[in-house]
Amino acid sequence: MANPTDYRSIAGALQYLTFTSSYIAYIVQQACLHMHDPREPHANLLKRILCYLEGTIDHGLQLHQTSPTSLTAYIGTDWPSCPDTRKSTSGYVVFLGNNLISWSSKHQQTVSHSSAEAEYRVVVNAVAKSY
Residue ranges making up the domain that contains 10: 4-55
Residue 45's pLDDT band (cuts 50, 70, 90): very high
40-55 vs 4-17: helix axis angle to the nearest 10? Answer: 40
Quick check: is 33 in a domain? yes
**Mean pLDDT to the nearest integer, 90-112:** 76
| Weakest mean pLDDT among 16-30, 32-46, 56-70 | 56-70
Quick check: is 65 in a domain? no
Total structural domains within the chain: 2
Residue 122's pLDDT band (cuts 50, 70, 90): confident
User: How far, in Å, are 3, 35, 54, 124 from residue 8 at the CA level?
Assistant: 9, 6, 20, 44
Which of 72 and 42 is assigned the larger pLDDT?
Answer: 42
